[in-house]
Amino acid sequence: MYVLKSIALAVAIAPLLISADNFPGYHSSGPRKTFAVRQAAANPSSRFLNDNSKAFAVNGKEIPEVNFDIGESYAGVLPISDRAGETRKLFFWFFPSAAPEARDEVGVCLGGGPGCSGLKSLLSANGPFLWPPGALAPVKNPYSLNRLTNFVWIDQPVGTGFSQGEPSITNQEELAEQFKGFWKNFVDIFQLHDSKMYFASESYGGTFVPHIANSFLESNDSKYFNVKGVAINNPSIGNNALQIEMPALPFSEYWSNVLGLDEPTLEKGRQRAEELGFTSYMKKYFTFPPPKEEWPQPPSPNKSTRDILVGAMYAANPCFDDYNIIHQCPTPYNQLVGAGADKASGGPAYFQREDVKKAINAPPDANWTGCAPKVFVGRDRSSYPTLDGTLANVVHKTKNVIVGSGDLDLVLPTNGTLFALQNMTWGGDKGFQRFPSTPFFVPQHGADTGAYGNLGSWSQERGLPFYSIRLAGHKLSGGSAGAIYRVIQVMLGRVKDFSSHYPLF
Catalytic residue numbers, as ranges: 203, 409, 474
Q: Report the C-alpha gap between 40 and 46 in whole angstroms.
A: 9
Rg (CA), the chain: 22
CA distance 35 to 31: 13
Q: Are 395 and 426 in contact (CB under 8 A)?
A: yes
Residue 203, amino acid = S
Contacts of residue 362, Cβ cutoff 8 Å, sequence gap at least 6: 75, 76, 77, 91, 162, 351, 356, 368
d(CA 474, CA 204): 11
Q: How far is it, in rounded angstroms, from Cα 125 to Cα 123?
A: 6
Of 4, 505, 2, 12, give the one whose Cα is nearest residue 258: 12
Task: Find the distance separating the first CA and the last CA of the chain, reported in whole Å.
Answer: 38
Pairing status of strand 139-140 against strand 151-155: unpaired
Neighbour-count burial of 237, counting CB atoms closer than 10 A to its CB (0-12 exposed, 13-18 middle, 19+ buried): buried
Contacts of 426 (CB under 8 A, 6+ apart): 391, 392, 395, 396, 462, 463, 464
- The Cα 102–Cα 228 span in angstroms is 14
